[in-house]
Amino acid sequence: MIALQERYSFCPRLPAAIALLLLSSCGSPSGGEAPRAQSEPFDGGRPEGQSFLRIGNRSITEVARAESFIASRCLFYDDGFLTHITLAASLREAPQGVQDELSALLADLQRRRTGTGGDPAPPAIEAGASRGRRIYQLHPTNDWIIDLSLDEFPGVPATVRVVCKLRIKGEKNLVADARAPLLLKYLREKTAEGLLAQMDRPRVPLDRHFQALAGFLGTGALSESELKRARRLLIAKAGKNPAIAATLLDHLDSFDPSDLAALDSDGSIAPRVFYLAWSANRGLKKPLGELLVLSLEYHGDAVLFQRALTALFPRKKNKRLYALHPPGRDREGALAFIRSLREMLARVEYQGGKGWTVEP
């Protein structure tokens, strides 16, 4: 019975199917040819309503204007730690000066694409500048075939290395260096805002979130209230995590005596090293000597002590020291660097807000 029902249930729909077939073969009701569905290339799951553009021979500035870009993510690197910070910062909402700087970058990339621009000279990046490195990733909202990466290096003010990836077969990545202070300021502020949002309750911040947050100290990206909250969070976390304390050694100038009160109750070595380095950073020689003596007892934390000393003795002011006694990458190398400074303790001098100097 069921088989018979299935067999004869097709019959009522047969006339309608025949009529539809005849209509499609004869053309449209107006006498013209029936409209055909336009085939579109597979877009990888792009959002509905967004067009997928092909650049072809058109210029980058023609296909994608600065105001159409959106910053979608920031990658933060700190001594092997990687943090992904999610953004949704539209350049359309940015001040005009920010858009102008991005427009200039896009025009420079197009010149390099056509071969009229020279190769970028490598930026003057100090050794160890990869700590606190941020890479901002941007793409146009109406085109998924262009990706921009803006690489920011600490120690190179307002300078970015731009890498443009055109997802076309045979196209090479375009690279350019440029000063973009307004664009960087805008991206820093939006990234810091996004990071703090990721750390809000009920979310549980990860250790790498704190390290990324420390990277914004002294950049002007945080408001007064955000800066106060960030310092409180970081000092509290530094008392429990040596990696956070090591990260904060690069930002000694950002803290005041009230911030360090939370470290008094902690007896572990990392907060002690941070407190001595912070005191020595204010020009006090006694805590500097205590830091060097304490390193004799805690050989296992030699890399932490070395990081504190490299923060107190800037490379720019101690070129000869770093040339003769370069910091080590492991415990033995760090111990050698610390030993060299310990032997020269009598000759060290403090130069105002420029840090400590010594000539071997």
Inform me whether the pLDDT recorded for 269 exceeds 70: yes
Inform me whether the pLDDT recorded for 36 exceeds 50: no
Q: Chain-wide mean pLDDT for the chain?
A: 80
Other beta carbons within 10 angstroms of residue 165's beta carbon come to: 15
Q: Give 219-280 as a DSSP string.
A: TT-S-HHHHHHHHHHHHHHHTT-HHHHHHHGGGGGG--TTGGGGGTT--SHHHHHHHHHHHH
Inform me whether the pLDDT recorded for 229 exceeds 60: yes
Q: Give 168-223 as a DSSP string.
A: STTPPPEEEEEE-HHHHHHHHHHHHHHHHHHTSTTS---HHHHHHHHTTTTTT-S-
pLDDT for the residue 354 = 84
**Mean local confidence (pLDDT), 285-310:** 94
pLDDT band at residue 43 using 50, 70 and 90 as cut-offs: very low
Q: Give 27-88 as a DSSP string.
A: --TTSSPPP-PPP----SSPPTT------TTS-HHHH--GGGEEEEEEEEEETTEEEEEEEE
pTM: 0.74
Nearest alpha-carbon partner for 341 in 306, 297, 302: 306
pLDDT for the residue 37 = 34
pLDDT for the residue 265 = 56
Nearest alpha-carbon partner for 192 in 157, 149, 225: 225
Q: Which stretch of 63-72, 130-139, 300-309 has the lowest confidence by average pLDDT?
A: 130-139
pLDDT for the residue 120 = 64
* Single-letter code of the amino acid located at 246: A
pLDDT for the residue 24 = 38
pLDDT for the residue 158 = 86
pLDDT for the residue 2 = 42
pLDDT band at residue 8 using 50, 70 and 90 as cut-offs: very low
Nearest alpha-carbon partner for 242 in 301, 297, 306: 301
pLDDT for the residue 39 = 32
Length of the chain: 360
* Single-letter code of the amino acid located at 24: S
Inform me whether the pLDDT recorded for 6 exceeds 60: no
pLDDT band at residue 333 using 50, 70 and 90 as cut-offs: very high
Give the Å distances, CA to CA, from 258 to 126, 180, 268, 327. Answer: 32, 35, 20, 32
**Mean local confidence (pLDDT), 81-101:** 91
Other beta carbons within 10 angstroms of residue 295's beta carbon come to: 23
Q: Which stretch of 66-80, 87-101, 182-196, 273-287 has the lowest confidence by average pLDDT?
A: 66-80
Give the Å distances, CA to CA, from 23 to 15, 16, 20, 36, 311. Answer: 12, 11, 5, 14, 81
Torsion, Cα 328 281 353 312, to 10 degrees, reads -10
The token pair that represents 335 in the structure block? 């111990």
Nearest alpha-carbon partner for 72 in 185, 174, 172, 191: 191
Q: Which stretch of 13-22, 279-288, 338-347 has the lowest confidence by average pLDDT?
A: 13-22
